[in-house]
Homo-oligomer: A and B are copies of this chain.
Amino acid sequence: MTPERKQRIIDTARARQPDLTVFMERVHKPHNLAAVLRTCDAVGIMHAHAVPAEHGLPTLNNTAQGAQRWVGLSRHADSVSGIRALREHGFSCHAAHFSERAVDFRRLDYTRPTAIVLGTEKFGVSDEALALCDGEIIIPMHGMTQSLNVSVACALILYEAERQRSLAGMYDANRSNESPWKELIEQWIARDLARRKTPLPEHPETAA
């Protein structure tokens, strides 16, 4: 491992935001899961959450660009137990869902511990998930179609969080010696070293 690669891993790990996450209900399409995980990596999410669909989580291919190696993904048996666990860990849970009480996604304070709950491609956020959420957020739309693609909606919300957290200096903190960053850095370096010993013919990260 080059010193540049090691430093990049350390810098990326210490910009991770353990108090920002997404909770995906039964995402079906591999390209949607791939796009969500790439965005999670880009905004520094340490750990994402999902309830697998009936046939399990979609299989990721190169379109994920290896994001699954840098973003942890916890599977939950159902939305109720998953969202309850997030709330017990101090997360405020907000569903990307249109309703009378929904607020514009740009009005939420994302510098607080926040989990964004995303529904399925077809049916949106489930009633049992909504019942456990602190609120609902909507993205303003000026068109004739009813909704945005789920990975697009997720990205718009997460990048509003990124904007607020950047302004608050939350990506600048030097936390290499604190938990959970210390453990994350050790884990990433060890895994990257092990992986590079047996290079794959097609490296997801080098695919454009």
Residues of chain A touching chain B, judged by Cβ–Cβ distance below 8 Å, are 8-9, 12, 15, 29, 31, 34-35, 38-44, 63, 65-67, 69-71, 106, 121-124, 139-149, 151-152, 155-156, 159, 162-163, 166, 171, 205, 207-208
Contact = CB atoms under 8 A, between A and B. Distances in A.
A142 B65 contact: no
Given A123-B208, A156-B155, A144 B66 contact: yes
A152 to B, nearest CB: 4
A41 B166 contact: no
A145 B205 contact: yes
Contact of A148 (B8, B42, B122, B146): B42
A161 B189 CA distance: 39
B145 A38 contact: yes
A161 B207 CA distance: 30
Given A149-B38, A156-B156, A70 B12 contact: no
A141 B42 contact: yes
A40 B145 CA distance: 10
A123 B207 CA distance: 9
A152 B35 contact: yes
Given A35-B149, A39-B148, A152-B155, 10 more contacts: A38-B143, A39-B152, A40-B143, A63-B149, A70-B144, A122-B208, A142-B171, A144-B205, A145-B205, A151-B151
Which of A44, A159, A207 has the largest count of B CB atoms less than 10 A from its CB?
A: A159
